[in-house]
Chain A
Amino acid sequence: MDIIVVEGLVKVYGGRRVIDGVSFRVRSGEVFGLVGPNGAGKTTTLRIIATLVKPNEGRVLVNGVDALAKPVEARKFLGYLPEEAEVYPRLTGYEHMLFHARLKCPNSYREAVSRGAQLSGLGNRLHDKAGEYSKGMKRRLLMAIALMTKPQVAILDEPTSGLDVHASYSVRKVIKEYSKEAGAAVIISSHNMLEVEHLCDRVAFINNGRIIDSGPPTELMNKYSSANIEEAFIKAIEASAI
């Protein structure tokens, strides 16, 4: 079942079409990757799905709900981790979780917080002020917040951006386990091709606001006779330019 339907998205900023007819669908239990260079339109696309930015054209359905017409309703199915999200330095990790859980699932927030504590892997440090966390710990905390309510769709914008090898590995593990256990759709954006190759069931190459190709990583590598997804991406861009 397609839990996310994106059709003909167009977004214009200052006369420039930063998103130009983006369409794709994501099924439940699938990890879908948006791959492209900086400025390709990944973040804007994810923000439109997360109902934070309105497109000039197109439509988005989240679990059958028109996300543009009923954004608050659509957000109930979403967990969102922005690319450059930061923490409130004076609140503890636990208080961050409590705050988000009370607003996302007021009737079962305790369970959500306990799941979040587990997902974050922060242990006793969860009761320290988040301003004292390392970058990796902050990212794990925010990731746990995005996933603790078991959203049917998790939107993760550059989840490992700026993290070291250990922290990136830990975050990727959490994403993989989450998609398996919760059977949820995960949309991630990344310009780290290896990450996408190992994590995603299906990827879409995006460049200059357009999806130039999409499919499972192995299929795309075969299609472009490439040894890895990075090479396939370069060839796809070259092919689209012809």
Chain B
Amino acid sequence: MSDLTALLWKELLDLSRDYKTILTTVLLPLILLPILGLVGIILVSQQPATVALVDEDYCESTNSMLNITISSRQVAEALYEELGKRGFKVIESNDASVVDDPLIDLVVVVPRGFAANATSLSSTASILVIKRANVQASAMAEQAVREVIGWLSYSLARVKVDALSRYAGVEASSEAILSPIIVQQEIVTIVGEKASVEEELKGLLARFLVLALGIVVAPATSFIVDGIIGERERKTIEMLVSLPIPLSKIIYSKILAATVVGIIATLSDVAGFLTYIYLTLLVYGVQLMLFIDPLLLVVHAFTSFLTILTSVAIAFPFITRTRGIRSASNIAGIVTIVATVIFFAGFMVDYYKLPMNIRTPLYLIPFTHSVLAIQLYAVGYRLESLLHALTLLALSAILLLLSIRTLDSEKILVAPPS
């Protein structure tokens, strides 16, 4: 058994019995992420929203020329039925003063003259929506009302166009009149190849995977803090560094163990995230495998590994030169924050699209290469993705070698003076 294997054996054996770490790193994300996601969906769907319908018009109007009859009741009933189907509680009221009742989230008023205007060819019928400021349920109900009214408006427009074309004796398509210009969409990859809608979903997954990189940094740096400063404070490190092996091997074993922790954290987070997506899609009847690219997951795992190495390499020289676990944890926290900012920005911004004068300084932050490795793979630039992964590997190797070269057992054993 080589030195490194024996050292790693000890680290992993100790880790495997650290049930609290395993619970917080593996089981909690695996169980909690899907549960939190589902709870979110359930809470949103269960959020009570009450809509009051006020039919002030309460009459019917006929346009004999177009042969159209509209009644305000029809509109109110359509709203009542559609909103009810979407889970909203709908009540009917006689006047708009119902808005004074705080239990009502949205008031929809069909004003006087609605039916007459709706059947007219020269005026527009309006529906008044009274929405409460800063109330989520109110915003959701408003969105639903707009959709129903939009559909009603479009249907009425079609009927009017059909009637007018009959009246004028011309052959006209209501679509051509109502939407004379439409947008047609074709999705292609970054190199111009035809892409499916699923490709876009893969891109979305890649964005989430970039965000998930942030999760791997914290446990890995914490493990290194514990592995060096924790061992110093628990008084186990002195016998360890007195063994007839180079200090670098002890450090490598700790970094490898930290990487294992990070990879386990990544896998469990990604598994938790995919379980959440799977359960969500199950509701909509979409196949998960349609947009999961196994190779993308492999790229993510590899990038996570390198990201952990880099995080540890950045934090390591500072951690080993601090007095105690508190200051070392602060340093680990700073590294985690920097990484999180870069990954969060990577969730929203395509780094490879940034102008060179912005991208170049960003290259100095190793985490930028983590984001680019995933983003470029997702859009099809596989070679460039690999190059950024290798840059990350080279950066972490250089940083690690430098920090290990400047380290000796005395720095680890004896806390520097405050």
B-binding residues in A (CB < 8 A): 14, 47, 50-54, 72-73, 75-76, 78, 80-82, 84-88, 90-91, 95, 99-100, 102-104, 106, 142, 145-146
Smallest distance from the beta carbon of A230 to chain B beta carbons, Å?
A: 28
Q: Known: A86-B236, A102-B1. Contact between A75 and B243, CB under 8 A? A: yes
Inside 8 A of A146's CB, which chain B residues have their CB?
239
Contact pick for A53, options B14, B17, B410, CB 8 Å: B410
Q: Do the beta carbons of A53 and B414 come within 8 Å of each other?
A: yes
B244:A72 contact, CB within 8 angstroms: yes
Complex-state Cα separation, A95 to B3, whole angstroms: 15
Given contacts A53-B414, A88-B236, contact A78 B242 (CB under 8 A): yes
**Which of B14, B238, B241 touches A90 (beta carbons < 8 Å)?**
B14
Kindly state whether residue B234 has any CB partner on chain A within 8 Å. yes
Q: A119 to chain B: closest CB distance in Å?
A: 16
Which residue of B235, B239, B246, B410 is within 8 Å of A72 (Cβ)? B246
Known contacts A14-B417, A85-B239, A103 near B246 by CB under 8 Å: no
Contact-residue size bin, chain B (C-beta under 8 Å from the other chain): 20 to 34
- Min C-beta distance of B19 to chain A, whole Å: 9
| A143, chain B: closest CB distance, angstroms | 11
List 21 A-B residue pairs with CB atoms under 8 Å apart, sorted by A's residue number: A51-B242, A53-B410, A53-B414, A54-B408, A72-B246, A75-B244, A78-B244, A80-B239, A82-B242, A84-B238, A87-B236, A88-B14, A88-B236, A90-B13, A91-B13, A95-B10, A99-B9, A99-B10, A100-B239, A103-B3, A146-B239
Closest residue of chain A to B249 (Cβ to Cβ) is A103
Residue of B nearest to A47 (CB): B413
Other-chain contact of B238, A52, A73, A88, A145 (Cβ < 8 Å): A52
Q: Which of A47, A88, A103 has the most CB of B within 10 A?
A: A103
Chain B residues within 8 Å of A87, by CB: 236
Given the interface pairs A52-B413, A53-B414, A54-B410, the reply to whether A80 lies near B6 with Cβ below 8 Å is: no
| Known interface pairs A50-B242, A53-B414, A72-B244; A103-B236 also in contact (CB < 8 Å) | no
Contacts A85-B238, A90-B18 supplied; 11 other A-B pairs, CB < 8 Å: A51-B242, A52-B241, A53-B413, A72-B246, A73-B244, A88-B10, A95-B10, A99-B10, A100-B243, A102-B1, A104-B243
